[in-house]
Amino acid sequence: MALIEVRGVSKVFGPKPQSALPLIAEGRSKAEILAETGHSVGLREIDLDIEAGQIFVVMGLSGSGKSTLIRHLNRLIDPTAGEIRFAGDDILTYDIKALLEFRRSKMSMVFQHFALLPHRTVVDNVAYGLEIQGVGKRERRARAEEWLETVGLAGYGPSLPDELSGGMRQRVGLARALCTDADVLLMDEAFSALDPLIRSDMQDQLAALQARLRKTIVFITHDLDEALRLGDKIAILKDGALVQVGTPADILLHPADAYVESFVRDVNRVRVLTAETVMKPPRLRITTENLDEALRQVRASPHDFAYVQTADGGGYGVVTQEGLEQARRSRTSLKDLTHELPSVQPGQALEEVLPVALQSQFPLPVVDESGELQGVVTKKAVIGVVADQAEARAARAEAAEGDVEPQPSEPPAA
């Protein structure tokens, strides 16, 4: 069971929201529904599972319903239809008291424009969630100071938010959210208002914190680079509807439609994709020292070579069928027959893998931290990723030149 389950959630804004539900069910477009009924569709029939410990990214153009969706998770907005469950609990049945308790202990939130209380010092801002819960002044300040230190703002406690730079203010926002020790962190375009350099700093810091804290983070952005950098899963929204949910590699390699494609087309895939995403299952691996047995196995397999572990640490090489046949006559050992191969880590970017793969006669072994052979990366697979993108780019260039085909819609803007 996922930690957060969203089932069939629709949200309509307007005086009689229910009246637009049948039109949503008919699949009428947002524009049509607006023209016909004057109601604005925020979300349409969303199904989502958010697993504990994940960074779940929601992406989409401005107005696609990202903020509306995230506000359903702590019921700042209530759905027009559908169900939302947290740890199996239907949160829509909560009364005021249960809802306040839920917001206090389970959910915390970071905002695009920081939303700090301007009349309070930094430390009192960080302690705000605890103050709401009635934690005593001394204890909440002590805990707030700890979190300030964690986000790199030790000593700024007595300052006012106005005296801090944007990046520092959002660290305060982050510390405030972490200070209540809630299970889930909701981040609505939390880094979108920051300069690019500071933004990437914050992304690194969030990733580092997450590696330690293992929170469930729902992160909203309109920036694909950010999504790819942070997301374990990415959901893409368009006009309030979910168009695709998947891992970053899924989204890059198999965009569900032209809208998703328009997001991903300018991403340098070789830089973003890792060896893991293009790796094939491990081919034949020989563990026996017996040459006859080894030859038998290679002959029986569809390939004319096999992988052999050459060192305990995880060095791998290949032996060929030909080599084995000769060796049987000359009585050399299996080790001496083996061609050492450079190995690749699962998380290594294709950018780094590419030159090595091009030089190698054999598919490269992908070896994990414990020295296990996870799979292999073929030259063809790596080249395929590059070629796909080049082809797509060329096709677009042609289309643009000839001006025959309609341009795909613009990539997401800020």
Partner 1 sequence: MDIFMDFGPVIADAVNRAIDDLVIRHGDDFEAFSNVMLAVLVGIEGWLRSLPPPVVLAAAAAAAYAASRRLTLALGAAAGLWLIGSLGLWQQAMQTVAIMGVAVGLSMLIGLPVGVLMARSDRVRAAVLPLLDLMQTIPSFVYLIPAAMLFGLGKVPAILATVIYAAPPLIRLTDLGIRLVDAEVLEASRAFGATRMQMLFGVQLPLALPNVMQGINQTMMMALAMVVIASMIGARGLGETVLLGLQRNDSGQGALGGLAIVALAIVFDRVTQAVGVRLQSRAARRG
Ligand X SMILES: Nc1ncnc2c1ncn2[C@@H]1O[C@H](COP(=O)(O)OP(=O)(O)O)[C@@H](O)[C@H]1O
Q: Which residues of the shown chain bind ligand X in the complex (CB under 6 A)?
A: 13, 40, 42, 60, 62-68
Q: Does 12 bind partner 1 (CB under 8 A)?
A: no
Nearest distance from C-beta of residue 64 to ligand X, angstroms: 4
Residue 67 in the binding site for Mg ion (CB under 5 A): yes
Report the alpha-carbon distance of residue 242 to residue 259 in Å, rounded.
11
Cα–Cα distance for residue pair 56/54, rounded to 1 Å: 6
Closest approach of Cβ 259 to Mg ion, in Å?
A: 18
* Residue entry with tokens 């695709």: 244
> Does position 74 bind partner 1 by CB under 8 A?
yes
Answer whether 277's CB lies under 8 Å from 344's CB.
no
Residue 180 binds which one of ligand X, Mg ion, partner 1, none, with CB within 5 to 8 A depending on kind?
partner 1
Q: Does 65 bind partner 1 (CB under 8 A)?
A: no
Compute the distance between CA of residue 32 and CA of residue 37 in angstroms, rounded to an integer.
8
Q: Which is nearer to Mg ion, 67 or 277 (CB)?
A: 67
**Nearest CA to 92 among 9, 184, 18, 17?**
9
Cβ at position 234, least distance to ligand X in Å? 15
Residue 221 in contact with Mg ion, rule: CB under 5 A = no
Q: Which is nearer to partner 1, 102 or 256 (CB)?
A: 102
**Per-position x/- string for 132-171, each x denoting binding to partner 1 as judged by CB under 8 A, each - no binding:** xx--------------------------x-x---------
Task: Pick one of 20, 61, 84, 128: the residue that binds partner 1 (CB under 8 A).
Answer: 128
Of 66 and 143, the one with the shorter C-beta distance to ligand X is 66
121 vs 338, beta carbon nearer partner 1: 121
Is 101 one of the binding residues for partner 1 (CB under 8 A)? Answer: yes
User: Is the Cβ of residue 71 or residue 303 nearer to ligand X in the bound state?
Assistant: 71
104 contributes a contact to partner 1 by CB under 8 A: yes
Nearest distance from C-beta of residue 257 to ligand X, angstroms = 18
Q: Residue 42 binds which one of partner 1, ligand X, Mg ion, none, with CB within 5 to 8 A depending on kind?
A: ligand X
- Closer Cβ to Mg ion, 112 or 262, answer by number: 112
Q: What x-and-dash track marks residues 172-201 binding partner 1 by CB under 8 A?
A: --------x-----x---------------
| Strand ranges across the sheet with 216-221 | 107-110, 184-188, 216-221, 55-59, 233-238, 241-246
- Interface pick for partner 1 out of 109, 148, 194, 227 (rule CB under 8 A): 109
Q: Which does 17 bind (CB under 5 to 8 A by kind): ligand X, partner 1, Mg ion, none?
A: none
Interface ranges with Mg ion (CB under 5 A): 67
